[in-house]
Structure 1
């Protein structure tokens, strides 16, 4: 369907159909143009662009979904995307038919964030598809610094171009003519926290989210260090906010300056889309190749060839975010952003110290394929991982597991499995260590797998250990702890008593109670081993 418009349903389905989207009810004309993506919010009704695709995130109630279908029809939407289910309720399909909207399903396992990003990326291709790749508005494509300088010349004021998180993407010359706060922003490539907080309290960001007109910020409202008036305008691509333009200029916001900033915002949007389209395409390709390479199978050899790793001895490293400390919470959006930051940071670090390394975020884990020519491959990979985690420190707490060296496709797949096993052990014991190789945690890994096996088969605890646990619960005693300490000390009462912080005589008395209550024969090596194994799996 190469002849289809890039913003048509046919083009969207060519790119995302089968994998991410399926038609659950109704039909859509392949030539139907898509005007944008809307995330349904029952609290704050969003604005609908013409012929939108509506994401019904978190809606499971049939009546609520039927009401949304009716509303979408009134807003001239094309389709509603719901989480895939066995069958759609009749009340929903009837409402969709009356409203003239289709129902699309998103399969389980795929995230709404992925879908929204990919939909917008596919639809944004049309915004950049008619301009030669080498230039946009007479400026080099994606050269935001050239764009900032051009805008600065037009409005006669120093300019910064910032993303949605107030990070400085590019800036013009002449920043020293503004004030000390602007210089601080340029040096840190980020709006300082105190100014960002003041802007939020003033409602500046709320205005940028909702309007396409410039807003004036009085320097007196921002605090010390700001002496020059700020003028900001949002940068959008359709219904998506990409960032903003900030001018440090005094004087009135004349109609000419307003028109210039509005035109500049459109030009910056094209450049940002061009940059993002290139980065997204490269990122998706790298992710696909790394995923194929570590999964094994028929396509792994070709993926390794394209990554430049064919025939090389490699290690697979797997990284994930460290568990959140008890009492703290982290939103899904923050988790997704931190995973992407972790992938980017690891890729940048390895590219500087390990030539040829390939890194990608695959689902929820960052994988790295590291070429290793020497015999101490695992040690070197672990050293690189430790060095990386020290660099990111508490800003991006993470865990990294190292698989064993591999050469063949099958061995690389096995190295990936090993790295994942190590990661699981590290996640089960947060704080003990941040980097490990399989040889260092293999016992813990096997115990975890044994615990999973017991749970999957529905195995129950031994009668002897169950009696001890029930006795401890009723009498607030320490018999299970006593048995575990004795087994860990290989029957040495003095060592076990010291580990339990009790007198040896007290420990001997408790041990006799263990035998009386449970009925376990501690002279039988098989019973000792069974008790130790069960206690270990419970402890894991």
Structure 2
């Protein structure tokens, strides 16, 4: 059996935070999801996860009384941040002697529930298996693999579900496959192709027991021994695989140790995944705080007041808004891969937009071109893996307290429309002029009185390809030179002069006044942004 305190130790206090411990209480016999919308019975030894119940609510206190009456093991609630009423729940838990734990906001029960169930089930198996298994469960994955190797007297390795090597026993490499897997931290592609071709992984997924596959014909034992494999799973979900290089046949006792170790390894792998998810969630929360509020909580993040920041905005070309959340989950580990070893990085999603905040001490000063290269590598990885073409906008470097402004810069850089072969990564400093003009156009459109004047009559109901409007735009771009405007439009000078005359007559614009020409050009930009009209290609 396992106690509540042992569960908290295994899972980690970043995932489960003990509020009250109680007098010890009964061992945890089962994990129960308490749904207030259904009939849920609490039994002796149940650790209750209250789904959708805030820790400050009266419902939480009612469930506490049910647990106390049934001699349950404890209660887990989502933290709500309502400290005043939450204190009443804490006081009641202390009075009833029921252990109370809180799960940080944003963390999903979907991942915590199977982890807790695996811990409880494995604790029961450890109780049956004796002290040796108990010691294995308390160690790390490397210790677990070494303990298993000592029992089966063969080299062993454990991979995650993506076939990345997590840990291995300490023996000399048994064959080429083990050696290459350890060196590259994953099963080499050539071997993976053979595993898939032989249906080994498919068979492992379908079987809850040990699956064997012999050496492939033509390979010496130095290249490949036969393997005994078992899937590490929680319920039906496969978390990884344990492989034993059978340098000699496994005994029945060795096979039982392999199956038992797979159950214990599930705890370690699930705990690792939950820890990664918590780290991702924490980074996303900090990223959102930085993007919205600037300098709050910088000390907690280890960021100095004099640090500099760069904000990167990411967008999938043509992606529907609903895809942003899924894409965000996919990108988080890739951001860790491409940025985290070099910088304080905080990916975050605001509405349907994805951002990465990169913070550095003032002495670092990583060139923006290098950050752009990291970003381009990230986008290439996403395209190669998921087939999604993405673009990125990058802000200038500024004080970390100004991340809200830097976010606007990154978004503006991303919004600047370039040619069809425009770079995937757009630096605001490369498009500053266009970005400023775009922001001015947005400001004019947000204040309709600024779009009033001579042009209003000309633009009312005008189509995007209105030839008279085109002629006026070209004339203004050419600073009042009709010949230059004609070359820009690839039209005869007389044609441009005629169309310009029509536009000036309809609008009443005086082209001799420099101030009116400037205002007219800005209002034309605002009109195109407002109506999503783009100048026809020439």
TM over 0.5: yes
Alignment of 1:533 onto 2:526: yes
Structure 1 equivalent of residue 110 of structure 2: 116
User: 1:17-28 residue pairs with structure 2 within 5 A?
Assistant: 25-26=37-38, 28=40
One of 481, 484, 487 as aligned partner of 1:492: 481
Aligned-partner SS, 2:479: coil
User: 1:3-402 residue pairs with structure 2 within 5 A?
Assistant: 7-9=31-33, 25-26=37-38, 28=40, 116-117=110-111, 119-120=113-114, 137-139=134-136, 143-174=140-171, 176-179=173-176, 181-220=177-216, 227-249=224-246, 255-285=252-282, 287-289=284-286, 291-292=288-289, 295-296=292-293, 301=296, 303-309=297-303, 312-324=305-317, 333=326, 335-350=328-343, 357=344, 359=346, 361=348, 365-368=354-357, 370-373=359-362, 380=366, 382=368, 385-386=371-372, 388-389=374-375, 392=378, 394-396=380-382, 399=392, 401-402=394-395
CA shift for structure 1 position 189: 2.1
What CA deviation, in whole Å up to 9, does each residue of 1:33-78 have, x standing for no partner?
9999xxxxxxxxxxxxxx999xxxxxxxxxxxxxxxxxxxxxxxxx
Query: In the superposition, relative to structure 1, how do residues 309 and 203 fare at CA in structure 2: closer, same or farther (>3 Å)?
Result: same
* CA–CA distance in structure 1, aligned partners of residues 232 and 471 of structure 2: 66
Aligned-partner SS, 2:341: helix
Alignment of 1:465 onto 2:459: yes
Structure 1 equivalent of residue 63 of structure 2: none
CA shift for structure 1 position 435: 5.4
Query: In the superposition, relative to structure 1, how do residues 532 and 289 fare at CA in structure 2: closer, same or farther (>3 Å)?
Result: closer
Deviates more, 1:397-406 or 1:161-170: 397-406
* CA–CA distance in structure 1, aligned partners of residues 497 and 347 of structure 2: 56
What CA deviation, in whole Å up to 9, does each residue of 1:190-214 have, x standing for no partner?
2334543454454443433343212
Q: Mark the runs of 5 or more structure 2 residues left unpaired by the alignment.
A: 1-18, 52-104, 127-131, 383-389
Query: In the superposition, relative to structure 1, how do residues 285 and 520 fare at CA in structure 2: closer, same or farther (>3 Å)?
Result: same
Query: In the superposition, relative to structure 1, how do residues 497 and 314 fare at CA in structure 2: closer, same or farther (>3 Å)?
Result: farther
What CA deviation, in whole Å up to 9, does each residue of 1:233-281 have, x standing for no partner?
1112344322111233367676444323211211222222343454455
What CA deviation, in whole Å up to 9, does each residue of 1:123-145 have, x standing for no partner?
667579999xxx98535956333
Structure 2 equivalent of residue 103 of structure 1: none
Aligned-partner SS, 2:463: helix
What CA deviation, in whole Å up to 9, does each residue of 1:58-114 have, x standing for no partner?
xxxxxxxxxxxxxxxxxxxxxxxxxxxxxxxxxxxxxxxxxxxxxxxxxxxx99x95
One of 420, 424, 427 as aligned partner of 2:411: 424
Q: Is the 8 Å Cα contact of residues 311 and 406 (structure 2) preserved in structure 1?
A: yes
Aligned-partner SS, 2:209: coil
* CA–CA distance in structure 1, aligned partners of residues 247 and 118 of structure 2: 35
* CA–CA distance in structure 2, aligned partners of residues 229 and 254 of structure 1: 15
* CA–CA distance in structure 2, aligned partners of residues 444 and 33 of structure 1: 62
Q: Is the 8 Å Cα contact of residues 236 and 243 (structure 1) preserved in structure 2?
A: yes
What CA deviation, in whole Å up to 9, does each residue of 1:323-357 have, x standing for no partner?
24799x9897565222332145322121xxxxxx4
Q: Is the 8 Å Cα contact of residues 376 and 424 (structure 2) preserved in structure 1?
A: no
Larger Rg: 2
Query: In the superposition, relative to structure 1, how do residues 277 and 536 fare at CA in structure 2: closer, same or farther (>3 Å)?
Result: closer
RMSD value over aligned CA atoms? Answer: 5.1
Aligned-partner SS, 1:244: strand
* CA–CA distance in structure 1, aligned partners of residues 186 and 460 of structure 2: 58
* CA–CA distance in structure 2, aligned partners of residues 367 and 205 of structure 1: 36
What CA deviation, in whole Å up to 9, does each residue of 1:469-520 have, x standing for no partner?
17x4xxxx7555544433333333344344444454554455456557x657
Aligned-partner SS, 2:480: coil
Q: Compute the TM-score of the two structures, normalised by the length of structure 2.
A: 0.61
CA shift for structure 1 position 154: 3.4
CA shift for structure 1 position 122: 6.3
Query: In the superposition, relative to structure 1, how do residues 242 and 465 fare at CA in structure 2: closer, same or farther (>3 Å)?
Result: same
Q: Compute the TM-score of the two structures, normalised by the length of structure 1.
A: 0.61
Structure 2 equivalent of residue 79 of structure 1: none
Q: Is the 8 Å Cα contact of residues 158 and 167 (structure 2) preserved in structure 1?
A: yes
Structure 2 equivalent of residue 436 of structure 1: 427
Deviates more, 1:441-450 or 1:197-206: 441-450
Query: In the superposition, relative to structure 1, how do residues 331 and 380 fare at CA in structure 2: closer, same or farther (>3 Å)?
Result: closer
Aligned-partner SS, 1:313: coil
* CA–CA distance in structure 2, aligned partners of residues 118 and 435 of structure 1: 40
Query: In the superposition, relative to structure 1, how do residues 147 and 177 fare at CA in structure 2: closer, same or farther (>3 Å)?
Result: same
Query: In the superposition, relative to structure 1, how do residues 493 and 306 fare at CA in structure 2: closer, same or farther (>3 Å)?
Result: same
Q: Is the 8 Å Cα contact of residues 478 and 484 (structure 2) preserved in structure 1?
A: yes
Aligned-partner SS, 1:234: strand
Q: Is the 8 Å Cα contact of residues 31 and 47 (structure 2) preserved in structure 1?
A: yes
Query: In the superposition, relative to structure 1, how do residues 486 and 118 fare at CA in structure 2: closer, same or farther (>3 Å)?
Result: farther
Query: In the superposition, relative to structure 1, how do residues 467 and 124 fare at CA in structure 2: closer, same or farther (>3 Å)?
Result: same
Query: In the superposition, relative to structure 1, how do residues 126 and 177 fare at CA in structure 2: closer, same or farther (>3 Å)?
Result: closer
Aligned-partner SS, 1:7: strand
CA shift for structure 1 position 384: 5.3
Query: In the superposition, relative to structure 1, how do residues 492 and 189 fare at CA in structure 2: closer, same or farther (>3 Å)?
Result: farther
